[in-house]
Each structure stands twice: as C-alpha cells, then as structure tokens.
Structure 1
Amino acid sequence: MSKPVVAITRPYDRAKKACEIVKELGGEPVLAPTLDLQPVNTKSLKELVKKQDELDWIVFTSPTTIVSLNEFHPEFLKTLDCKIAVIGNKTGKVANEYGLTVDLVPDNFTAEGLVEEFKKQNIKNQVVGVPRTLSARPTLVDGLKELDNEVIVAEAYRSLFPMDKIKVERLIEQIKNNEIDAITFTSPLTVENFFKIVVEEEKISNLLSEEVITVAIGPITGKVLEEHDISYIYPDTYTVRDMLELLFKVYNGEQNG
C-alpha cells in the first residue's frame, strides 16, 4: 500500500513537527506554506514592554508571540511578573522552554475557550497584555473587554501572504492530478491565502470535498472551509497531532469522515 501524501499548509517555522508526525504515522508530507510569519518590533510592542509592571495577565496566543518577544525584548520575558495564559499546549510548552510558568490553559484551544475560562474564574478588572498578529480575530480582545478588563494589544508579528507562491501553485496542480490524498489547514488565514492563489475555485473546492481528505485543526478554521463549500473533518482536541491522527484514522478506514 502506498504512503498517503499529506499537504501541510502551515508556515515554515511551525511545519517541521507536523511533517515529522506525518512520517511517523506512515505518510509522505508535502510542505506548501500558505502563510508566512514575521516577528516585528513595533511601537505597540515596545509600549507593552514599557507597561510590564502594570500587567496582571499576559496572554500568549501562539509560540510566535513568545519568539518575537525573546528576539526583541528578552529581558521582558526574564523579568515577567504577572500571570500567564496561553491558547494551546504547544504555546504552553514554548513558554516553559523560555522559563515561564503558565497559569491558565483553556480546555478549548481557541480565543472563545480562553474568554470562557476567564468568565468561569471571574477574572475581571485586570490589565491584560495581548501580543499577537493584528490580523487575528477580535474575539479574544472583545471578550476580555466585556469582562471589564483593560486590554493592551501589541503587534508582535505579522501574518504575511506566502513568499513562495510556487510551492502552493505546485500543490494546486498536484490536487488537480489526484496526487494529494489529504490536506491540512491550521488557521483561517491558511485557507484564505490558499484560495487567493487558486484560479479555478469551484473545481478545487469540489476536489477537496470529494477526492481529498480535508482536515481543519478546529471549527474556527472549518468555518472558512465552509465558505468555500468544502466538506472537512476536525478533531475533538484542536492540536496538530490530534488533527493528523484523525486524518490517518479516516484514511485507513478506522473512522468515518
């Protein structure tokens, strides 16, 4: 039986582990990032650093926020003296690697899940720092503000259109030629940027629905796939490993898609 060919659309700096898991599970990864991430030392990030002593909480929404702060303001991380919330185990692991102690990880690895956890724990009237990309959904910031928290948003990195469009264009041709067995999307932007490059949208949407196992990391990403009329699956726990393990169960006929 030939190895399933699995397309990974994650940014380069986050794709290595996903490719390793695909190989571990018996597949062949094809890396075609539809998103690039660029750490930036913006004015808003510098302002957040200046207000370090005012923070009651800081929220890290992705590993890239921590990497960016370490690159431009390493002393900030070393001397951080507030509670830390993260979205997802991966972000929590990276935080630990930089010597940070995580106080809160929501069961649901989404902005909605974190806001719900703040509600449950009655975390109100706090000063909360949120370094992130400005292209992120407003859900987290709005939700925290609704709890009467003061939210300091800082741009820590930029989510860019993929620099290497050729890889994505090649992937699209492979999909047309039935050379791809499955494709994974790990954020709304990975889907949106993919379809900015697609020319024959209806054809590709049909192929992703009918000929390819299309997997989203969670329902938020899935909603964007729905906008393109694509049938998809997603795991109960929104992690890359769970997403890929589900993919292989469906491919091997161990679970219905």
Structure 2
Amino acid sequence: MKPGKVWLVGAGPSDPGLFTLKGKRVLQEAEVVVYDALAGQAILSMIPEDAEKINVGKRASHHLMPQEEINKILVKKALEGKRVVRLKGGDPFLFGRGGEELELLKAHQIPYEVVPGVTSAIAVPAYNGIPVTHRDFCSSVHIITGHKKKGDTYDIDFEALVRTKGTLVFLMGVTALADICDGLLKAGMPADMPAAILQQGTTAGQKRISATVSTLPEEVQKQGIQTPAIIVVGEVCALADRFAWHEALPLAGRKILVTRPKELISQMAEKLRREGAEVLELPAIKTEAISENQKLKQSMEAIQSYDWIVFTSPTGVRVFFEKLAEHEADIRKLAAAKFAVIGSGSEKELKKHGILADLKPEIFDGEHLGSSLAGACTGEERILIPRAETANQELILELQKVPDVQIDDVPTYRTLYESSELIDQKAEFEQGKIDFAVFTSASTVRGFAQATKGLDFSLVRAVCIGKQTKQATDELGMQSWMSEKATMDSVLDKVKELCRKQL
C-alpha cells in the first residue's frame, strides 16, 4: 500500500483568528487528527466530523501518551494510507518536539509537511500590550524553555541571558518561576527589571501579573495563576499598561457559546470575536432535506400556480432552490409569485438567488409574518410554505383567518440534533467557564438540551433572538434574555449590555 502523508500543523495560541489559512485547509482535509491539549477549543471544533481523532494530551507535566507512542501512531496511520494531521498548540518546531516526530517519519520514508503556527512567545505578549522588541529598550528577544524534570537543576546559562540585554520569554516555566527569577538575579540582572507572567493569552482566561524580577514570584503567590502561562522579563514589560488593547475590548474576558446549524458558518460567532469574546462555536443541530417527498414533488409540478412563496428560515430557502434544481423546474415559472420572508437571514439567503423579498414583517416571528401576509391577501391566493418538518403553527393560524386562502404547508427538511465528541459542554457550564449561551432558534435550544443531558439548566445564561427561542429556554429553566430585535446585531448589543452590567 502506498503510504499516506503527515502534516505537522501549528494551531497557534488558541484564538482561531491566529490559525493560519494553510493550517485550516490541511486540517479540514484530514482523515486522522492527533491533537494536543494546547490546541484551542475553537480549533478543535474545525476537525472534520468523520476524521479519526486521537487525543495525546501533553500539557505541562500531564501527558496522556509518551512522545515515543505518539511518533509510532503517526507512522502507523500514515502506513495505512491516511492523511494524518499532527495538531500542536503554538508552533510545531518551538519546543513542540516536532523534530523528534519527523525523525521516525523520515526513517520510514513517509512524506510529510510542516505548517508553522503562531507561537505564544510572540502572540501572548502582543495580546497583553507587550512588544517583545522595541528600539528604545532592546534589539533582541530570546525564547527559553522553562520546563525541567522534577529534582533537576536548570541547564541554562543565566549570565549569558542577562548579558544579551534583550527580552526573555520563558515557556512552560510556571512551576519553576521562583528558580528562574532567582537564577537571573544571581546572574546580575537588576532587581527592579520589569517582568510579567501572562496567563492563557488570547482566551477569555487571559490575565497579566506585572511586577519585577525580584517581586514577581511573591505577586503570583498572592494573586494566583493558571496554566498555560508564559513569563516575560525585560524593559518592554513596563509598556503593558500603556499599550494593552485586548482587555479594553467590550467582551474581553468573556467566553460565549454559540449554537448553530452544522451547515451554516456563524456570523454571530464572528461578531462576538470582533468584540473580544472567546467563542465556543458548536453545532447543536444539523438539517437534512427530506428525500422521498411526494408533497414537495406535487408542489414543484404546480410551481407556477402559487401567488406567494413563504420562507421561515435561511435553510428553507436553500433547500427549496436545491429541490427546484433537482426537479429541473424552470426558475422562470416563479415569475408570477411574490416572496415573503420571516426576517433578515431568510431575506439575505433569497437575494443569493437574485430575488428580492416582497414582504418582511417588522417583528421577525411566525405570528407577525402571518398577520402581515394575511393583510396583503385578498382571499383567493395560493400560498406555498416550504419549511421544517416540525414547525411553529402561529404562521398558519394567522393565514387561516383569511377566507378562501389555500395554504400548502410543505415540510422540506428535518432537524437532527448534534453533539461534540471533543468538547464537554455540560462540564463547561458546571465549572462556570461559559458566561453566556447565544441561541438563534428554538431548535438550537432543543439541540443544546439533547447534547447536555443531566445539566442543571439554571446554570445557563441564555441570550435569545426572539420570543419562541426565549420560550424554549424558559421551559428548560435557563436564565434568559431576549434581544430587542430578531437580528444578530441586536443579540450582540444585548450581550454587550449584560456584560456592562457585570451579569
């Protein structure tokens, strides 16, 4: 069998915006993914659903699998002819033991590529307002591993480091902070040299403790620190308070769960990230078109007879036009029809097909769509509503108030619930790691509930896009708020408002 190929991919420090374009492409084409604990949750969420996933741990002193075993797995899976991605936090060649993994691949003549990643040694100081070089302070930066085996002494020439007069960045050195600072002081570094320890950079857990080389260990004892964290020593640390930018963003320090249909790229997640939030973006549902659909077939055959075609979701629009193409129906047969949409998302999806909506209610829900459409009808219209198999009946009840109107309520797709095999959503809420969950439909609420069975839903603070969605969260006992309008921008405004109130 022809061997497969291995890609060593650096995932960066955690923020998905710092994951390289090539890294993302390679990951999405993977058949096997061997991943580290330091690869951020947002990156792990990009792993293809059908890929084999192997967790090898490797955080600080806690390893699920020895390095030698990891090397063997890469060889084994590649010899099976698979496309293998070794996903590593940061950069694979910066204390990532990527070179060791390549040694065995080379020995077995297995093809490989290295996809560099953004290293935390540069990115995390940057997110804390610390430029690792600055012409007024230093002209070099030195990256040192702070890791050593228990009971061993450091094999570091501290005197040489002090003589560089450059910025020193220690990775994996939290447990040895006192030893590192002591070694620098004994090597002649001034006691008042600025220093900082930077926790969980680029995530909601980002935290900075600034001090001096002589006082940093004591400050860490007082304030506490969590791993992963890096240590930065040098004059540039004094710039942190002046240059800090990330912590000034409205949603910095907040972690928000966004649920969405699997097929859709979430605009909501991107809006939240731009405001500084760490977003855990997980599909709660997926949709699939109903294959054997006699009712839809009949509607397609008589498509030119409809006066109105009504869409209640972007998915409904997408599936309708897919089915139209499958039935080889000429789109010109829609010329006599008018189009109504429930809101901006459906309107935007409809525009992709070159059609502008004739009707959109001021309030984006089924009741107001129904009453608006009823007001536009004279009583003899024929209306097609291609939508989800299980759908709210408020729209139909409003339309039925119009005499002689003919309604064809046609299910075109069904909703299935999804859950992540890599991220334990239930534990995230139980441990208080998520500030808010954003729901953009009642179906995503139900999907979330299915994925977190056993969770005390009163722990969930939910921000909802409309009253039906809020009703679904209320039924589960969540703490819930509803946006002023049924738009993503309004949901974002509500999240920011709640954060300003320190809720």
Shorter-chain TM-score above 0.5: yes
Paired with 1:7 and 1:182, the residues of 2 have a C-alpha distance of 6
CA, structure 1 residues 25+117, in 2 after alignment: closer, same or farther (shift >3 Å)? Answer: same
Q: Normalised by the size of structure 1, how large is the TM-score? A: 0.88
Question: Structure 2 counterpart of 1:199, which letter?
Answer: K
Distance (whole Å) between structure 2 residues aligned to residue 158 and residue 123 of structure 1: 32
Please state if 1:78 is matched with 2:331.
Answer: yes
Structure 1 counterpart of 2:351:
96
Q: How far 1:175 sits from its partner (Å)?
A: 0.9
Structure 1 residue 157 and structure 2 residue 413: aligned?
yes
Q: Which one has more relative contact order, counting CA pairs under 8 Å at least 6 apart?
A: 1
Q: Structure 1 residues 7-16 or 56-65, which shifts more?
A: 7-16
* C-alpha contact (below 8 Å) 1:57/1:128 kept by paired residues: yes
1:9 aligns with 2:259: yes
Tell me, in whole angstroms, the C-alpha distance in 2 between the residues paired with 1:142 and 1:16: 31
Of the structure 1 ranges 33-42 and 228-237, higher mean CA displacement relative to structure 2 is found in 33-42
Q: Which whole-Å deviations, capped at 9, do the CAs of 1:134-192 have from their partners, x for residues lacking one?
A: 11112212322232321112222111121x4436x611211111111110112222222
CA distance 1:185–1:77, shift in 2 (3 Å): farther
* 2:380 paired with 1:113: no
Instruction: List per-residue Cα deviations over 1:87-110 (Å, max 9, x = no partner).
Output: 101111111110112100000111
- CA distance in 2: counterparts of 1:175 and 1:200, whole angstroms: 12
CA-to-partner distance for each residue in 1:183-219, whole Å, 9 max, x for gaps?
0112222222322333334xx22211xxxx4101111
Aligned Cα RMSD in Å?
2.0
**Greater CA drift, 87-96 or 37-46:** 37-46
Q: Which amino acid aligns with 1:249?
A: E
- In the alignment, the residues of structure 1 paired with residue 330 and residue 365 of structure 2 have an alpha-carbon distance, to the nearest angstrom, of 23
Shift of 1:122: 4.6
Calculate percent identity across the aligned residue pairs: 23
Match of 1:206 among 455, 458, 471: 458
Q: Secondary structure at the match of 1:90?
A: helix
Which has the larger strand fraction?
Answer: 2
CA distance in 1, matches of 2:438, 2:353: 29
The aligned runs of 1:12-91 (5 Å cut-off) are: 12-41=262-291, 42-74=293-325, 76=329, 78-79=331-332, 80-81=334-335, 82-91=337-346
**Which secondary structure does the structure 2 equivalent of 1:114 belong to?**
helix
Aligned residues: 247
Distance 1:124 1:3 in 2: 55
Which residue number in structure 1 is paired with residue 447 of structure 2?
A: 193
The CA distance in 1 between the partners of 2:330 and 2:314, in whole Å, is 13
Greater share of helix residues, 1 or 2? 1
Pair 1:222-2:485 in alignment: no
Give yes or no for contact 2:262–2:284 (8 Å, CA) kept in 1.
Answer: no
2:399 is aligned, of 131, 141, 144, to 144
| 1:180 matched to 2:434 | yes
Q: 1:199 to 1:48 in 2, by over 3 A?
A: same
Q: Secondary structure at the match of 1:236?
A: coil
- CA distance 1:7–1:165, shift in 2 (3 Å): same
Report Cα offsets for 1:37-76 as digits up to 9, x if no partner: 1133422222111111210101011111221122231365
- For residue 225 of structure 1, give the secondary structure of its aligned residue in structure 2: helix
State whether residues 40 and 68 of structure 1, in contact with CA within 8 Å, keep that contact through their aligned partners in structure 2.
Answer: no
**CA distance 1:216–1:77, shift in 2 (3 Å):** farther
**Structure 2 regions of 5+ residues with no counterpart?**
1-246
| 2:482 aligned residue | 234
Counting only pairs closer than 5 Å after superposition, residues 114-133 of structure 1 correspond to structure 2 as: 114-133=369-388
Supply the distance in 1 between the matched residues of 2:376 and 2:276 (Cα, whole angstroms): 42
- SS, match of residue 260 in structure 2: coil
